[in-house]
Structure 1
Amino acid sequence: MKVGVISDSHDNVKNLSFAVEYFNRNGADYVIHCGDIISPFAADCLNKLQMPYTGVFGNNDGEWLGLDKITEGKIVKGPIVTEIGGCRFAVFHEPSVLDYISSDVPYVLYGHTHSKDLKKRNNQTIINPGTLGGYMADNASFAVINTVNGEIDFIDL
């Protein structure tokens, strides 16, 4: 199963549209947004995904009602633990809760720092896909998780 992971798109509709097209073209099975979409008009790009998606609000997502409405409740207040294709994912925006995630959750996804991160902790894979918006970073990026073989790919724009 391929799971796309994006975060901190910050209203960059061009990059968000690129990621959506990438996931649609390359057969992602699910997409997760780790927060800071910002505006409902940007969140509408997610509705062009040809697969299910979910996500959490970030610290800059002020228009919660609009984001909730445009995504039909798919973006929620985190942290959340969700099961996708038999695999559990913890999803949140700010890394302050990293140490509180149960060790039985194989994938831990977060954003906020605008920096790519990939590390192992016991049986967990911890991933920050970087910033899709590209702000306060060397480049824009997102990630793809292959839950079958455990490979993690970062896509730089």
Structure 2
Amino acid sequence: MRVNQRPESILAGLAGRAYGPSALSALDTSAKSMEPSVKSVTRANLELTQFWARRARATLETPHRLSRCRTPQQCMHEAIRLAHEAADDVRRTGETVLRLWTMALQQPSPLLYAWMAAGQSLTPQAGRTAEAPRAVQRDVITFPERSGRTLKDR
């Protein structure tokens, strides 16, 4: 990428010419306001990646752990222990990911505020007026019946 095509140089040119220095400060403020949410979501994704790596490793170690068993009772105890470890890992990871996503969604979102200020609603039913035509509710898989000839008429 050439130097004049980089986003920083383009924004710096815009800030210096038409929009004044407030353009970059508004962009910087917006980016900084989203930073905690982005960090939290990134940590949640990292936690999920680590979870799947731990589960893959445990799955690959299962034959070795079961090969050390000498009696059926030992095999059963080892299998139960593996299941308990997996359940505990799922519980801990779920709690962590839920906490991180909760933190991410508690941060104020400038884009959401801009959406709401523009008069848009988050649900399609909320912004509908009495004069607006209602969309026909259809199942995605089925198609409406055609009026006229059918296969039986042919």
- TM-score with structure 1 length normalisation? 0.17
Pick the structure with more strand per residue.
1
Greater RCO, 1 or 2 (C-alpha within 8 Å, sep 6+)? 2
TM-score, with structure 2 as normaliser: 0.18
Q: Where is the helix percentage greater, Structure 1 or Structure 2? A: 2
Instruction: Work out which of the two has the higher radius of gyration on C-alpha atoms and give 1 or 2.
Output: 2
